[in-house]
Structure 1
Amino acid sequence: MPSGDVPPRNAFERFYNGIFSLWDTPVTWFREKVVAPNRKQYYWYHRQLPRVPEIDQCYTDDLMCKFEANEQYKRDRDVDTRILQILIRRRDDCYIYESPNTEKCKKLHEDFREAELNWFIKYGDLGPHVTVVNDVL
């Protein structure tokens, strides 16, 4: 395998690099010119799951619908909690970086307070292990 800037040390290495280049050059060209431009960029962390019916749209005997609604509720709660954690981290990092003058952090602090209030309105008095049925009732 050729190693870039290092020149070959002997005839065998030169021969090996030549054979390797016979195979590698067309494959690399094909991948860079044909495959890569036509491939859609996929970011795994931008995965969007389809929404399922809410618990009030499920029939009383439809257990699968209730299960899916409960999983959707847990996923929504987890996303809201993680957003709140990100806002906490941003606010704390700003306070650490900008201290003792924290006027620049006022917007981050207000955003965090608003998100915290909204999270508490939605999930605050429910407890850690709650189902969507308990939440609706």
Structure 2
Amino acid sequence: MPEPRSPMQSFAQSVQNTIDGPITWFRETIVEPNQQKYNWYHQRYRRVPTIDQCYTDDAVCRFEADQQFRRDRMVDNEIVNILRQRFEDCMLYEAPDHIAKCTPLLETYEKASENWFVKYGDLGGYANAKTCYMKQKHRLIWERRHGPVGSGMKSEDTVGSNH
């Protein structure tokens, strides 16, 4: 810190040190050593209970589950958007050889978009955690009865032998 040039500057600096000194000491010796350091740019929050862990009359739990669902959907949307953007950038950058060089990115993007559609597809813009949970439940029941979605329905003789 430069030496003050006048008595007024000296007085102002002493007042500054009197006020700021204890605050700086407290932050450097108590607050910063006890903070968790994150290796990522955003803070990781604890997960709230999912909709299947909430009681039917617990409105607060259902609200928190809906908010967590919306946050998860926004994150998954961004992941799919980033993967699509990386694939498009690869295609522009690797122009003549893009088919060979960008195939792994395309496969990653297609798998991520497929997973996104399995979870969020056909829910609409006003979906909540309950509708997503019901979609998952119905899909699991369908797969138990008919096999994986997209593989066609089991025949009658195959369905009878499973019971």
Using structure 2 for the length normalisation, give the TM-score. 0.59
| Alignment match, 1:82 | 78
The higher-RCO structure (CA 8 Å, 6+ apart) is: 1
Question: Would you say 1:59 and 2:55 are equivalent positions?
Answer: yes
Cα deviations by residue, 1:75-105 (Å, 9 ceiling, x for unpaired): 1111111100110110000001001211111
CA contact (8 A) 2:119 2:132 kept: no
CA distance in 1, matches of 2:40, 2:106: 30
Gaps of 5+ in 1: 2-16, 24-30
Give 1:133's match in structure 2, choosing from 116, 130, 134. 130
Distance 1:125 1:43, change over 3 A: same
Give me the identity figure in percent.
45
Matched length: 113
Using structure 1 for the length normalisation, give the TM-score. 0.69
| Alignment match, 1:69 | 65
Cα deviations by residue, 1:41-60 (Å, 9 ceiling, x for unpaired): 55773211110111111111
**Where does structure 1 differ by over 6 angstroms across 4 or more consecutive aligned residues?**
none
Gaps of 5+ in 2: 6-12, 14-23, 135-163
CA distance in 1, matches of 2:91, 2:114: 21
- Structure 2 residue identity aligned to 1:72: Q
Partner of 2:107: helix, strand, or coil?
A: helix
| Alignment match, 1:104 | 101
CA distance in 2, matches of 1:107, 1:44: 25
CA contact (8 A) 2:84 2:109 kept: yes
